[in-house]
Chains A and B, each alone.
Chain A
Amino acid sequence: MSELVVALGAYLAIIALVTLWSRLRTRTGDPVDYFIASRGLSGFVSAMTYAATTYSAFMMVGLVGLSYATGVGALVFELSYLVATVAILAIVGPKVWELSRRRGYVTPTQLLKDSLGSYWGTALAVAMNAVALIPYSAVQIVGPAAILSGISRGLLDVRASMTVVAAIVILTTLTAGLRSVAWTDAAQGFIMVVGALALTTWLISVTPSEAVSKLGDLGLLSPLNNFWTPRTLIAYTTPWIFFALTNPQVFQRLYLPKDRKSYLRMVLLFSVFGLAYTVMAVLIGLLARGLSELGALPIQVDVRSRATWNNVTPQILSYAHPALTVLTAISIIAAATSTVNSIVLTISSMVSYDTPIPEKLRLLAGKAVIVVITLIVYAFALTTPAFVVDLAVASSSLLLPLLPLYLFSIYGPRSRLSYLATVLLGFPLALVLATNQQIQPPIPKEVVILVLSFAIYLAAFVLEKFLPRSHLKSQH
């Protein structure tokens, strides 16, 4: 208990100090500085905010449970995401970085509005992002709050834990916008790695070689097994390998490095962070499973029931030293808050810039939206209605129709009709497919959404080409 009070106090003090320090470096009254730090971040801070935004509580809760239950295929899935992301950052990212400077973009959706020329299409794209990411953010804080509540032994109930998380999100987002988010992300990223490293080191130190052999006997060291069939692997990886382009909170981070060298440094440091964090999370799950099979770490999780996989991390922590338990729990809170605050700030910037809000009111409106979105996230987290859980699970698939829009905005062909058609048809299609369990197409739903989104865009482009100009007029 005393460890928790000390660690939580130290964590909150670090966040508060970093937030206040970043406030001193902010140009107050400038929305570009507030939302993207005037495109002037160093490579180190850009990398840390990219990593802390990307890697959420899923890593130390969801991925640990997935690795525990399904084996090394979880590593293949998560490394596929990392490698694809780095490839996107190397190939598409420089183009996006240059466009943001040349045309003065603040939000990802400004690129769509500018290239595809539809005001209402962009407003719908902003709504798509909000529908996908607000429930995702709510679910993000449920698990960590439950862990914090569990280890506090009555000091903090789940509601109080969620209030702490929501308060951190408001503080780090509202105080100095992107600067306070990015600098606290840097601190939180450090805490995430230290927490994961400590837990991994402890597990390695207590794992005998028989535990690893046991994993092999169970088929958990084989990339394909009963769970990880080629279909499952494709279904899991398809939305995630395009995450860097479809998720606005990470797309916007491509605007942040102050020069090309900083951009390169961002990608390299993010790669090292991602590789280390992924390997540690998967190792934690695998080693815990090996120890559990030997009876050395009696974890009560039914691996056949997917709903129980998220209980693996809390159960591992229940056997660790109290100091290690508290450190890991704080690192999971850090992972959750650093993801949620970035999402909240990015959505607020899109509402400020890409809806009919007068230019003079952008900053004020953005701050109001931050408060409103955080309160919605908080309310959803407290009640977690079924539709919020469904949308959170489906969030990565819901954003897939944005992929052709971003790619065609950058490389062409560009068409306003295609933009509107993809938003109006692609998003409802993704919503129905991703949330309705009765629909089971012969190929993974994620692939269906992706293929149909590209097909809709290209079909509308061809239609626009062949229809008389008087009926439809392209902006390009």
Chain B
Amino acid sequence: MRVLEAALVVYVVLALTLPYLLSGDRTMLTFATYIALATVSIATAASYLRRWAEVE
């Protein structure tokens, strides 16, 4: 499962680099910021849930 959480982190990196690949400048920074915020929130929720899932 840690692979999936790592995939979320990779997603942040991709999300932050995608705008630069698209435009070469920082005009898409808002777009990337929201994706990063969402990803961090999701990773936090996943981490919280992992503690519950490990108590089987």
Contacts and interface: CB of A to CB of B under 8 A. Distances in A.
A82 interface: yes
Interface in B13-56: 15, 19, 21-25, 27-28, 30-31, 34-35, 37-39, 41-42, 45-46, 48-50, 52-56
Interface stretch (A213-221, A328-336, A372-380): A213-221
Most chain A CB within 10 A, of B27, B38, B55, is at B38
Contact of A275 (B27, B38, B48): B38
A221 B1 contact: no
A265 B5 CA distance: 10
B56 to A, nearest CB: 5
B15 to A, nearest CB: 7
Interface stretch (A12-20, A71-79, A299-307, A314-322): A71-79
Contacts of B45: 83, 86-87, 89-91, 267, 271
The secondary-structure label for the interface of chain B is: helix
A101 interface: no
A293 interface: no
A223 B55 contact: no
Contacts, number: 107
B46 A221 contact: no
A89 B49 contact: yes
A272 B7 contact: yes
A94 interface: yes
B4 A265 contact: yes
Contacts of A216: 27
A268 B45 CA distance: 9
A79 B39 CA distance: 9
Interface of B: 1, 4-5, 7-8, 11, 15, 19, 21-25, 27-28, 30-31, 34-35, 37-39, 41-42, 45-46, 48-50, 52-56
B34 A268 contact: no
22 contacts: A75-B35, A76-B34, A79-B34, A82-B38, A83-B38, A83-B41, A83-B45, A86-B46, A89-B49, A90-B46, A207-B22, A209-B22, A209-B24, A213-B27, A215-B27, A222-B30, A223-B30, A260-B56, A264-B46, A264-B49, A265-B4, A279-B35
Interface of A: 72, 75-76, 79, 82-83, 86-87, 89-91, 94, 204, 207, 209, 212-213, 215-216, 221-223, 259-261, 263-265, 267-269, 271-272, 275-276, 279, 282, 286-287
Given A79-B34, A83-B42, A272 B4 contact: yes
Nearest to A90: B45
A223 B49 CA distance: 30
Given A86-B41, A279-B15, 6 more contacts: A82-B42, A83-B45, A86-B42, A271-B42, A275-B42, A276-B11
B1 A72 contact: no
A201 to B, nearest CB: 12
Contact of B53 (A83, A86, A260, A272): A260
Contacts of A91: 45, 48
A275 B53 contact: no
B46 A268 contact: yes
B28 A221 contact: yes
Given A207-B22, A213-B25, A264 B31 contact: no
A275 B11 contact: yes
A85 B35 CA distance: 15
A259 B28 CA distance: 41
B32 to A, nearest CB: 10
A260 B23 contact: no
- Name the residue among B11, B50, B52 with the largest chain A CB count within 10 angstroms: B52
Given A209-B24, A213-B27, A75 B41 contact: no
Contacts of A268: 1, 4-5, 8, 46
Contacts of A87: 41, 45
A90 B41 CA distance: 11
Contacts of B37: 79, 83
B52 A94 contact: yes
Given A82-B42, A89-B45, A271-B46, A260 B55 contact: yes
A202 B53 CA distance: 40
Contact of A269 (B4, B49, B53): B4
Contacts of A286: 31
Contacts of A221: 27-28, 30-31
